[in-house]
C-alpha cells in the first residue's frame, strides 16, 4: 500500500483531496475500486471520470474537479499511469546464474548477475552484459554482444556476429541475424548471394514475438536507439531504422529501406526496396510504399500506392458520391432522349 501524496511526490506532481488515502494498485476507469488509481486520458474519459469508483484519478492540469475527487495532476496522465504500472507490477527477473542444462561455449564473457535459462545455448566468444536475462531455449550465436540489462524471452534466436545494445527486450521466437533474401539469376537458376554482413541493435529497443531482422548482405542492418517493433514484423537486409521509430505488427521492410528518427509505421504496411521514410512521417495501416519512393518528413500517408492522407480522403469522399452521380447521369440521359424525340 502507498499513500496518494507519496505517489504524487514519486511522480513529481501535485495532488488534491485525500492525500493520505492508501492505494493498492492500478486499474482502468470502469473497473477501478476505492483503493486503485485510474487515469483520464481524453475528453471522453473526462466526461465519465467523476462517476468512477477509483480512489484516485490521474488528470491533466485543466481537468475540472467539480466533485472534489482525490486527483493527481500531471501533463501526461497516460505516461504517469505507465510509470505506476511498472511500480505496482515490476518485471520479475529470474535468479542469476547458469542453468545446469544450458550450453556455454568457449571464451564467453558473462557480466555480474546474468541469468541463463534451461537449454539455452551461448556460442563461443559471446559477451553478455551485467544483469541480462537469457530465457529458456534461446540460442545466442558466436561473437554476439548483448548489452547490460537486456532480456531475451524464451526461444529467441540470435545468429553469429550480432550486436545488441543495453536494456533491449526481445520477445519469444524472434530471430535476429538470419540471412537476407538475396539471390542472383545465373544460368537459368537462382543462386544465393552470400549474406556476410551484420546486425546492430541500439539501446532500449523492444522487438516483438516472431519478428525477424535480417543481416546485411554487406555492411550492417541497423536498428537505432529506442525503436519499438511489434510482433511478426520483418526487417530486410541492409535496412537502417532510425532512433525512436515505432512499427506496428505484420509490417514488412524490403532490402535497404531507410527510416529516419521518430517515424510511425502502422500495421501491415509494405515498404519496397530502397524506399526512404523521412523523420516523423506517419504511414497508416495497410499502406504500400513503392520501391525507391520517398515519404517526406512529417507527412501522413495512406493507401496503395501510399499517398497523402488528405488526397486519399478527398478521393474517398468522391467515391461516396458515385451512386448519386450515376442517378443524375441517368436522368440527364433520359432528358436528352426525350428532347431528341420531340425534335
Phi, psi of 146 (to 5 degrees): -125, 125
Answer whether 20's CB lies under 8 Å from 3's CB.
yes
Q: Which three cell numbers stand for residue 46?
A: 473526462
Residue 237 is among the residues annotated as catalytic for this protein: yes
Answer whether 185's CB lies under 8 Å from 168's CB.
no
Residue written as grid cell 505507465: 82
- How far apart, in whole angstroms, are the C-alpha atoms of residue 189 and residue 170? 37
Within 8 A by CB and 6+ apart from 243, the residues are 202, 224, 225, 226, 227, 261, 262
- How far apart, in whole angstroms, are the C-alpha atoms of residue 343 and residue 325? 27
Residue of 153, 171, 237, 244 with catalytic role: 237
- How far apart, in whole angstroms, are the C-alpha atoms of residue 140 and residue 124? 9
Q: In sequence order, what DSSP letters do the residues of 56-74 get, joined into one string?
A: EEEE-TT---TT---EEE-
Within 8 A by CB and 6+ apart from 95, the residues are 115
Residue positions annotated with a catalytic role: 237
Amino acid at each position: 500500500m502507498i499513500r496518494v501524496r507519496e505517489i504524487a511526490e514519486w511522480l513529481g506532481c501535485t495532488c488534491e483531496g485525500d492525500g493520505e488515502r492508501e492505494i493498492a494498485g492500478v486499474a482502468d476507469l470502469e473497473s477501478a475500486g476505492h483503493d486503485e488509481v485510474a487515469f483520464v486520458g481524453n475528453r471522453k474519459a473526462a466526461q465519465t471520470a467523476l462517476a468512477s469508483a477509483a480512489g484516485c484519478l490521474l488528470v491533466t492540469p485543466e481537468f475540472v474537479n467539480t466533485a472534489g475527487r482525490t486527483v493527481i495532476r500531471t501533463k501526461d496522465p497516460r505516461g504517469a499511469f505507465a510509470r505506476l504500472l511498472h511500480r505496482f507490477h515490476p518485471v520479475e527477473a529470474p535468479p542469476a546464474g547458469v542453468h545446469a542444462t544450458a550450453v556455454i561455449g568457449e571464451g564467453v564473457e558473462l557480466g555480474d548477475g546474468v541469468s541463463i535459462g534451461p537449454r539455452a545455448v551461448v556460442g563461443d566468444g559471446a559477451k553478455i552484459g551485467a544483469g541480462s536475462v537469457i530465457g529458456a531455449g534461446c540460442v545466442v550465436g558466436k561473437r554476439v554482444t548483448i548489452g547490460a540489462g537486456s532480456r531475451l524471452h524464451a526461444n529467441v534466436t540470435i545468429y553469429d556476429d550480432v550486436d545488441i545494445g543495453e536494456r533491449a527486450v526481445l520477445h519469444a521466437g524472434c530471430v535476429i541475424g538470419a540471412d537476407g533474401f538475396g539471390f542472383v539469376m545465373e544460368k537459368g537458376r537462382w543462386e544465393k548471394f552470400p549474406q556476410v554482413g551484420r546486425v546492430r541493435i541500439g539501446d532500449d529497443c523492444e522487438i516483438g514475438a516472431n519478428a525477424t531482422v535480417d543481416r546485411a548482405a554487406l555492411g550492417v542492418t541497423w536498428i537505432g536507439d529506442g525503436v519499438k517493433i511489434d510482433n511478426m514484423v520483418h526487417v530486410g537486409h541492409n535496412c537502417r531504422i532510425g532512433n525512436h521509430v515505432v512499427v506496428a505488427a505484420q509490417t514488412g521492410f524490403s532490402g535497404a529501406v531507410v527510416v529516419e528518427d521518430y517515424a510511425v509505421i502502422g500495421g501491415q504496411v509494405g515498404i519496397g526496396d530502397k524506399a526512404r521514410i523521412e523523420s516523423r512521417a506517419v504511414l497508416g495501416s495497410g499502406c504500400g510504399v513503392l520501391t525507391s519512393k520517398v515519404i517526406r518528413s512529417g507527412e501522413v500517408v495512406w493507401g496503395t500506392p501510399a499517398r497523402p492522407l488528405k488526397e486519399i480522403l478527398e478521393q474517398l469522399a468522391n467515391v461516396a458520391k458515385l451512386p448519386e452521380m450515376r442517378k443524375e447521369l441517368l436522368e440527364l440521359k433520359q432528358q436528352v432522349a426525350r428532347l431528341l424525340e420531340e425534335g
